[in-house]
Structures are given as C-alpha cells and as structure tokens.
Amino acid sequence: MKKIEEKYLESEHQVRAYDVYLSSYRVKGANRVLACSRLYDGDKFIRDNFLVNEQQADKIEAMFDLVNRILETCKDIDLFTIRVSNKTFANLVKNADFAEESNRYFGNISRFKRQLGKREVIIVIPNWCTANKKDYAIDEMAKDLYAKIPSSRVFSGFCIKKNWIEKGFIEDLWDLLWKNGWRQKDGNYCDDWRTLAGAYNSVLRTGKNAKYGKVQPKKEETVVERKRLLPNYICYTDGSCDNYSTHKAGGSAYIVVNTSTGELEKVKTHHCLHTTNNRMEMLAIISAVNYCPKGSVIEVRSDSKYALKMFRYTDWEIGADIKNTDLIKLYRKCAKDKLVILTWVKGHNGDDLNEQADCLAFGAYEKALKENGLPMAPEKYRAMRRGKQTVFETDN
C-alpha cells in the first residue's frame, strides 16, 4: 500500500482499484479443475473470468493462471484486493517476494510477480464472520460452472454421436464456445451445455460466413445397424417408500419383458428399512439392468425423473455433493457392455405394466412392514391397491 500512497501524493494520478473474488473447484479424483473469479470496481460489477485445466488437477496452479490472466488484461489497475478462501494460495501470494526455487509453485509465483510489476495486491481470507454474499456466490459459481462445462473428451464424444465429424469441426465448435464464455446470446449461462453446443453448431453451419454445411446423414449401413438395435428387453420399474416415518420402509419392483417372445420373463421385488423413495427407484432400475445379459439392448421405463437423471450419462464425474453415489457406481457396473435406453413415463397414466410395477413395489413395502412388526396402512387402502394387481413374482 505504501507504494500506491506515495504515487498518489507525488502526482495527480487517481488510484484505480479492483476487488477480485476468486475460487476454484475440483471433483475428488478427477483430472480437471476449474478456477473462476468476479471483478468489482467498488460495488460495480465488471465481469466474470474462468478457466479449466484438464492437464493437471491442481487448484493452486489454476488460480495462479487465472490471476495472471486478470493482471495481463487489467494493466491500468493499480491495486487488486483478492478475496480467496484457499489459504495455501493466499499465503503464496502474500509471501511471493520470499519464494524459494524449491517451492513447487515457484514458476507460477515468478510469472505472477512479473505480471504484477509495480502494482500492488492485498490478500483477504474471508472467514465465517467476515465473509459476504459475494464470497459465497463465487464458491457456488465455481461448483455450478464445473458441472455446466464438459471435459474435451466428453465434448468430443457428444459431437461424434451427433455426427458432427467433419475435419476440424469439433475443434472449431469447442473454440467458439470458449470464445463466447459458454454463454447464451443473452449473456446467461446455459443449464445444459449440449443445448448450447447445438445452438453454436447452427452458427457454424448457416449464414454468410458458415464454414460448414448441413450435417450429412449417416451411411446406410449405420441406419441398418440402428434398426437392429431394437430392445431385446423392456423393463418396467418402480419404487415405494414411506419417507416421513421413523422406520422408512421401502420396496422396489421390476418387470422384464422379452421382446422376442412378448412374455414376462422376470418379475421380482425387494424390500428393506431405513431407505428413501429415490433409492428404491434406483434399485429397481439397477436390478432390472443387472438381470439382462451382456450385449443386450434394454429399454427401462420408469416414472422417476431423479433416477433417470442420475443414470442417463455414465461418463460424468460424481461430485462429493451427489447423493446415492453407491447406487450410481453400481448401476454403471451393471450397465457395462449393455446398451441401456432410459425412458421416462408418467406414473398412473394408463400404462398397464407401469401400474403393475407400482402395485408390486407397494406390496414389497408392505412385506418390509410385516416382517418387522410395524403398523400397516388401513385395510381399505391396501385392498384397493391389491385389487389392481394382476402380475405376480416369478419363481425363477
């Protein structure tokens, strides 16, 4: 601060200062880390900055890279107040002048000092009593952007599935998305990056400056192969649980239809205590997929949007804040070497086998109550549910 004060006293130069709110996020065990920041001039918001490092999962290096980028683009700013909760990074910046060559971040620190030059930086480590809304917001932003921006590998796989395979197209689309900060035209972030990729795909294929033409249809043999991928099995699944009781009894059920014979090949239920409705829905899907042999094409029909969302993509990184990670991992193991099509169906909407799966799941829930001597629902209600049931568990 002393340099800035002297500079101000010796001239009419008005000191310009920015507040930099800085954070980073990485899923445990992942090879990708995201760093993000928000710049303010007093209470005036300037802009967001973020970057993703896929080469080495190190939050400190990512934050140094981002801060160096800010220093490079804000050369007319004299003073930066960096608010960051990462104490390791904060202490490295505070003691930058005393960094030793043996320090693993010595190269990052040296680049930071060169970019900073004669300007000054103040480090603030917010704690529970000094943190403000902006401190919490930047941490949430890091976590949110991490989920909204894919890895290059996942992005390439998505493009290939969409048949966007012209030479150089994937690289151009990737660069265009980064150039626009993974934002929509209105400046907001998109909830699903796939939707955003589709919008920018149109930018590269239409208009006066379009570099690529329309997507070419897949070869005839590919179309024929798709026709062969009709489901070998259709599975109806459902789960039931009393989430509001102390015992939280639950049941799950699945029905497997063999499409080659049109017959019900497998009908099975499970029950337990101390569970949730979501876990029972997930368990039903896992059990059905596990029953079907490797190499088969399986369509699972469920009325649980939560379970389908957790299972729909098997290559996303499971964050520390995600619930039911054990069942997500188990599903991925059971679905390996199988093509699983997950289809949402509206519950209680006239689909007979979906209704039967619901009755079976409720029956399994009743078994959990009965086996543990717990109070049952009124007989009138139970009889109504039993009256709709026409499908029963198979012996095999």
CATH classification of the domain holding 53: 3.30.420.10
Query: Does residue 219 lie in a domain region?
Result: no
CA 392 centroid distance within chain: 38
Statement to judge: residues 311 and 236 lie in one domain: yes
Range of the domain at 69: 2-147
* pLDDT tens sequence across 67-106: 999 999 999 999 999 999 999 999 999 999 888 888 989 9
Statement to judge: residues 194 and 126 lie in one domain: no
Find residue 268's DSSP bridge partners. Answer: 254
| Res 9 pLDDT > 80 | no
Share of the chain above pLDDT 90, in %: 47
Statement to judge: residues 365 and 261 lie in one domain: yes
Kindly state the tokens that stand for 158.
């998505």
Statement to judge: residues 287 and 338 lie in one domain: yes
How much is the pLDDT for 191? 80
Kindly state the tokens that stand for 206.
């239409």
Statement to judge: residues 143 and 158 lie in one domain: no
How much is the pLDDT for 266? 93
* pLDDT tens sequence across 197-249: 988 888 888 867 678 877 766 555 444 444 456 889 999 999 999 877 888 99
Work out the angle at residue 225's Cα, subtended by the Cα atoms of residues 222 and 227, and round it to the nearest 5 degrees. 115
Statement to judge: residues 361 and 255 lie in one domain: yes
Query: Does residue 215 lie in a domain region?
Result: no
Work out the angle at residue 332's Cα, subtended by the Cα atoms of residues 330 and 333, and round it to the nearest 5 degrees. 65
How much is the pLDDT for 187? 83
Query: Does residue 312 lie in a domain region?
Result: yes
* Contact partners, residue 216, CB within 8 Å, separation at least 6: 163
Say which DSSP state 183 is in: B
CA 142 centroid distance within chain: 12
Strand order in the sheet with 79-84: 44-53, 33-41, 17-25, 79-84, 120-124
Q: What is the mean pLDDT of the chain?
A: 86
